[in-house]
């Protein structure tokens, strides 16, 4: 009898047995080995390889308990991930790993091994640059986001999709850790380095206008079911090499504001930008990041306009004025959520390596204050970020 008829937490041996039991991906005579390569807080990721043919496959396995803290987290996130990856591969072929199988019992997504691509955050920390990144990530965003909106989909089908991707538990994580606690530390989970608290009390917790605007962005996150988002599009969910990118890990996917995804990409590039500036003092790299940020805005707007004219079916949305309003609201959200991402990764409990890896205390203080100022400008003046040059001006200030 199959070992896999009831959910349990799998180990490397189980991953190999699972592949042998469920798939016919490997050739006869394959000699399998498996290793667990997960580096996140949430799931278990196994690569299973045939040492004879060197073919490999990846299993992402959700346990009922969170990997890091051991608390419970809805395993339905694994279904959402499998379905959303398949959908993204339909809309943006080749930009996500192919899904081979989803198993709701064991909570396993079996997918293409994309180990030829590397974690973008780690690569940017090594100051590597990627010639196709702005092109690929804007194609990914425009092609996966616009087709899932009410402007393109049948209204009933869109509501069914929205219901299917409610994603309560993972949205609650973002509502708290991104859009509440960095501004009001009501659970006492923020992590603030020595000497920084007075600055944060004055410039973040004590800035009533900032807290209000973050609250408005939170309300928009929870109520503006605009498109099926990736939901966690930070530079650790993006893998890149000189040939292109692959986007992973859409388990936070839900129907939310498009600018949340675009803003996550922009905000995370700003960590690389400030790290290159304050820690590395590498102007060539900093300039590449600046160009990439501005290209992403330019290309997103350009591609969005083209796709809009091709795809939009809603008669109300077919005027140039409506299109301009819609795009402007996305750009405002983009700046706002770039800002909330920057502030939450600086103050909140889920830091990025560009911040937490800075060992020199004075540099870290300086880098964090720079990030807080960037984040605030993006949130408070989000309606003013309409073009690439608005971002260039912000960075050059
Ligand atoms: P989590 O949701 O637990 O954070 P991720 O989907 O981010 O899990 O995966 C964790 C790590 O596993 C990634 O950073 C990456 O190194 C590796 N990984 C995940 N999926 C693949 C894949 N399809 N191919 C190769 N490596 C992968
Ligand atoms: Mg994840």
Ligand 1: which of 38, 65, 73, 121 to mutate, judged by most atoms within 8 Å of the beta carbon? Answer: 38
Structure confidence at residue 41 (pLDDT): 83
H/E stretch holding 131 reads none
Two tokens, residue 354: 């560009």
CA distance 218 to 301: 24
Check residue 103 and give its pLDDT. Answer: 98
Closest by alpha carbon to 225, among 253, 257, 250, 262?
A: 257
The protein residue with its alpha carbon nearest to ligand 1, atom 14, reads 39
Q: What span, in angstroms and rounded, lies between the C-alpha atoms of 199 and 313?
A: 49
State residue 115 phi and psi, 5-degree precision.
Answer: -60, -15
Give pLDDT, residue 70.
86
What is the structure's pLDDT at 152?
A: 98
Cα torsion 342, 343, 346, 349: sign = negative
Q: Which numbered atom of ligand 1 lies nearest the CA of 97?
A: 23
Rg (CA), the chain: 21
Q: What is the pLDDT of residue 40?
A: 79
pLDDT at 273: 98
- 261-291 pLDDT, tens per residue? 999 999 999 999 999 999 999 999 999 999 9
Count Cβ atoms below 10 Å from residue 249 Cβ, excluding itself: 25
DSSP secondary structure letter of residue 257: -
Query: d(Cα 250, Cα 276) in Å, to the nearest integer?
Result: 28
| Whole-number Å distance between alpha carbons of 40 and 354 | 16
Across-strand partners of 34? 48
Output the ligand 1 site: residues, CB below 6 A. Answer: 37-40, 42-43, 45, 58, 60, 97, 111-115, 119, 248-249, 251
Structure confidence at residue 102 (pLDDT): 98
Q: In sequence order, which residues have a C-beta less than 8 Å from that of residue 11 and are 6 or more positions away?
A: 36
Q: What angle do CA 194, 195, 198 make, to 5 degrees?
A: 125
Q: Is the pTM of this model over 0.85?
A: yes
Residue 106 near residue 218 (C-beta atoms within 8 A): no
- Please report the sign of the dihedral spanned by the C-alpha atoms of residue 37, residue 264, residue 255, residue 134: negative
| Residue 70 CA, ligand 1 centroid: distance in Å | 19
Which residue's CA is the nearest one to ligand 1's atom 23?
113
Rounded CA separation 346/377 (Å): 15
Q: How far apart are CA 191 and CA 322, in angstroms?
A: 43
**DSSP string spanning 165-200?**
T--HHHHHHHHHHTTTTTTS-TTS-----TT-HHHH
Q: Give every residue of the chain whose pLDDT is below 50, as ranges.
A: none
Q: What are phi and psi of 83, to 5 degrees?
A: -70, -40
From 248, 251, 253, 352, mutation site for ligand 1 pocket: most ligand atoms within 8 A of C-beta? 248
CA of 331 to the centre of ligand 1 (A): 29
- Ligand located closest to 173 CA: 2
Total Cβ atoms within 10 A of residue 211? 16
Protein residue whose Cα sits closest to atom 1 of ligand 1? 40
Looking at all shown ligands, the one closest to residue 231's CA atom is: 2
Of 214, 342, 338, give the one whose Cα is nearest residue 274.
342
Q: What are phi and psi of 350, to 5 degrees?
A: -115, 85
Q: Select from 10, 37, 55, 239 the residue to mutate for testing ligand 1; criterion: most ligand atoms less than 8 Å from CB.
A: 37
Ligand 2 centroid to residue 154 C-alpha, Å? 30
Residue 56, pLDDT score? 98
Residue nearest to atom 8 of ligand 1 (CA): 40
Q: In what order do the strands lie in the sheet with 44-50?
A: 32-36, 44-50, 56-61, 108-111, 99-103
Integer Cα distance of 376 and 394 in angstroms:
11
Task: Kindly compute the dihedral angle of the four CA atoms of residues 228, 229, 231, 235, in this order, to the nearest 10 degrees.
Answer: 150
Q: How far is the CA of 390 from the centre of ligand 2 (A)?
A: 32
**Backbone torsion region of residue 132, taken as left when φ is above 0, otherwise alpha when ψ lies between -120 and 50, otherwise beta:** alpha
pLDDT confidence of residue 69: 85
Residue 44 Cα: closest atom of ligand 1: 3
pLDDT for position 39: 84
Residue 112 backbone class (left: φ over 0; alpha: ψ -120 to 50; beta: rest): beta
CA 51 to chain centre: 33
DSSP states of 224-249: ---EE--S--STTSEEEETTEEEE--
Give the integer Cα–Cα distance in Å for 379 and 271: 16
Q: Which ligand is nearest to the CA of 113?
A: 1
């Amino acid at each position: 009898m199959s070992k896999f008829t009831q959910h349990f937490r799998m180990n490397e041996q189980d991953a190999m047995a699972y592949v042998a039991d469920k798939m016919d991906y490997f050739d006869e005579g394959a000699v399998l080995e498996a290793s667990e390569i997960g580096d996140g807080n949430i799931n278990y990721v196994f690569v299973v390889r045939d040492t004879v043919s060197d073919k490999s496959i990846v299993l992402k396995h959700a346990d009922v308990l969170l990997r890091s803290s051991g608390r419970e987290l809805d395993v339905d996130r694994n279904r959402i991930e499998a379905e959303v990856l398949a959908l993204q591969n339909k809309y943006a072929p080749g930009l996500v790993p192919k899904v081979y199988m989803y198993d709701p019992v064991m909570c396993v997504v079996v997918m293409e091994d994309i180990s030829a691509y590397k974690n973008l955050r780690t690569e940017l920390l090594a100051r590597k640059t990627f010639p196709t990144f702005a092109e690929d990530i804007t194609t990914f965003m425009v092609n996966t986001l616009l087709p899932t909106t009410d402007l393109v989909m049948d209204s009933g089908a869109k509501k069914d999709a929205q219901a299917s991707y409610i994603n309560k538990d993972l949205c609650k994580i973002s509502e708290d850790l991104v859009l509440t606690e960095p501004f009001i530390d009501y659970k006492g989970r923020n992590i603030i380095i020595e000497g920084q608290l007075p600055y944060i009390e004055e410039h973040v917790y004590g800035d009533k206008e900032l807290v209000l605007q973050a609250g408005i962005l939170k309300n928009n996150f929870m109520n503006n079911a605009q498109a099926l988002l990736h939901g966690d599009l930070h530079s650790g969910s993006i893998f890149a090499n000189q040939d292109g990118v692959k986007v992973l890990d859409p388990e936070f996917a839900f129907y939310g504001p498009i600018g949340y995804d675009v803003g996550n990409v922009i905000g995370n590039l700003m960590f690389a930008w400030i790290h290159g500036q304050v820690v590395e003092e590498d102007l060539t790299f900093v300039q590449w990041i600046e160009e990439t940020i501005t290209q992403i805005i330019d290309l997103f707007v350009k591609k969005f306009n083209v796709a809009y004219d091709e795809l939009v079916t809603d008669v109300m949305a077919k005027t140039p004025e409506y299109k301009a309003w819609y795009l402007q609201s996305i750009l405002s959200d983009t700046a706002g959520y770039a800002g909330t991402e920057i502030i939450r990764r600086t103050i909140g409990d889920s830091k990025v390596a560009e911040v937490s890896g800075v060992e020199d205390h004075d540099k870290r203080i300086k880098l964090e204050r720079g990030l807080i100022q960037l984040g605030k400008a993006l949130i408070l003046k989000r309606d003013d970020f309409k073009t690439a040059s608005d971002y260039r001006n912000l960075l050059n200030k």
